[in-house]
Structure 1
Amino acid sequence: MDFDLTERQTYWRDRVRDFIETHVRPRNPDYYAQQSEGDRWKVLPVIEEEKKRAKAAGIWNLFMPPGSGRPHVDDSFEFEGPGLTNLEYALCAEEMGRVGWASEVFNCSAPDTGNMEVFHRYGTREQKEQWLRPLMNGEIRSAFLMTEPAVASSDATNIETRIERDGDHYVLNGRKWWSSGAGDPRCKVAIVMGKSDFEAQRHAQQSMILMPLDAPGVTILRHLNVFGYDDAPHGHMEIELKDVRVPVENMLLGEGRGFEIAQGRLGPGRIHHCMRTIGVAEEALEKMCKRLLSRVAFGKAIAEHSVWEQRVAEARIDIELNRLLCLKAADMMDKAGNKAAQGEIAMIKVSAPRMALRIIDDAIQAFGGAGVSDDPGLAKMYAGIRTLRLADGPDEVHNRAIARLEFGKYGGREAIAAAKATAAR
């Protein structure tokens, strides 16, 4: 194995890192000042200003690889990004994770990244022109509507939103929540997952369809706070769909193809989340170390107390372990495809948020009373990362997948069936 970064990997990582340290981090005070003024659900000038700078510098749409379209769609090069691999982008995503709003500056923030990949892989030329082009230009934003309050959405086959054909339209009825990004006034389109055929085979009932946010019958019922944070202007909304009519040409790929699209969307997205999470953990560790070195308790620097030496050492070990696993998963996706890397993707999706939460929690402890305030930003870090243990599939779902892959090495279903038969005698 060669653990040295290539020239191209270093080039893109360093460009992102330098831009963040030169232009994004120094404007943190501007970001929080603008966020605290007036209406919560608004466009922040600081983000738009830095987006223009990043776009002019060519650090833009980094997650979109060339040639990612499927044979059945028009894979026009005018809808391509700079062509970073999953591994190359992972290194950049870690840097973006160190400042909460950095991803949006490079037009690389969720859920737009996953949605743009869906448009690119599965969209028609018309769908790309209407929605992908303005998304790639950073002119609009988007949402992804899958989770529902009335069912256990960790099993997506439970989804009850109806997508019913009526002449030249589909009619949507249902209720979604945790619709991230729908609070942004720039959010113009949502990808909605629902059932178009309740009688089909279990994984062929679902479809994905494009829905304008301003369509009649779309009602934002409320925004949902995460540990008291509203995440404005992005937001996480509960949305009612009541007799919402969208043209038949808004269907993605075809009826019954929803799970196929979901699997193509979620694999890369999970890696993006995990690498940003490692960046968050690095940021928390840096804050913790600086705090421990600057404060004195019981006659010596807090850093000299052995309990903190143990915590800092464990934090560094955990970060390095998780980074290597995440990079391995990204490399496998590039070389063998998402399916071959499904075990590694599941493992890092479980491990990275848990690791980061432990480090953030220790950092909060190091700051004492200040740690639970908004001043060092650790409380908001914790809220965001804790959510990731639920987003894109809860830990339990990924652990189930990991265990099944492991059992499969030793006979899997056959062994279980034999054990049940023996017990029944």
Structure 2
Amino acid sequence: MKITLPNENRQLVSYTLKQQGMVYPSTNQFHSRRAYSAAHVVADPISAAHPVLGGDVDWNSTLSYRHALWNLGFGVAEAMDTAQRGMGLSWETAKELIARSSIEAKACGGIIASGAGTDQLDQSHSHTLDTIIAAYEEQAEFVESKGSKVILMASRALAKTAQTPEDYKTVYERILKQVKEPVILHWLGDMFDPNLVGYWGDEKAEKAMDVCLEIIHQHEDKVDGIKISLLDKDKEIKMRNCLPESVRMYTGDDFHYPELISGDEYRYSDALLGIFDAIAPAAASAFQALDNGDKATYERIFAPTVPLARHIFESPTYAYKTGIVFMAYLNGFQNHFRMIGGAEGARSVIHLSKLFILADEAGLLSNPEQAIQRMAYVLKTAGVNQEEVLL
């Protein structure tokens, strides 16, 4: 099977697919690592709502995809940045998403953890620490009321208001003292969200890490783990080794996840990753191999997914969600390539063409013939016409 794709030199090049279909089992369970997939939302393509104002969610397709992740053995990290939280998905819509997903998780025995932040606050101006605390309280209480674990998301409002590390300690101490069950903290780097520069009170990661670790150690009984998304494996390993034994490190490193999950002689990372949304079948199979002590198979399965992940998360990193949704479109989980906020336009057709090749090389096109047809349609809408796709 072949398709003609444009490359970075503005040339049209014939590409022959290497895979004849998905090479991974459709269902797996695993236990040696805890793994959450941050899940995307499916936009309603025929809603009258204006995309630039957010648009509407296709609830049936969105929830169906979460069942696909649960069936593979993943927990779902709900209403995170992968779901365009704060980037098209409002808190009001996130509340409905969390409520609906929590019901579905309970019905099928799936694991769910949901983001609680402060995005109901007006981001155009600063807020007092008490106002920020109240916003966190509102969201954390809502998440817990739905039976979901809380992921305490990094707050743009706090990053804007806080003047010192003590301000962060004040806010997190208040929230952690109130939650019913241990939460997952989230340190999201500014490469994912430029509004979060200097989080924890210092732009130097090492000093910021010290503040975060102090908070964790002081409230160890209320912290299940921390997800850090800095795309720096050495910083993650350093912090991992400084955590209390009872606190998990959830890698958010979409560049180095195989090595970090595998671990070293001291500790390993569990996972809460956006890339798992796109590579879920491969990741589930890799985890199953790890369960069986088969490191060679684990590494063999994950190896071709890393170039795909690095491409999807290339700079500007915050646009990675476009590639995640494009993968879902290619693999038939949704019948259109439209996104909340019109974010399908955040990546070039060249980027999407390379993504197609890397997905094929990783064995992640479940139905190659369908993927070719859908890739050809996207190319055509970009003005790249093909007289014939050879099958």
In the superposition, the TM-score normalised over structure 2's length comes to 0.29
- Higher Cα Rg, which structure: 1
**Which of structures 1 and 2 has the larger relative contact order (alpha carbons within 8 angstroms, sep 6+)?**
2
When you count helix as a share of all residues, which structure comes out higher? Answer: 1
> When the two structures are superposed, what TM-score results if normalisation uses the length of structure 1?
0.27
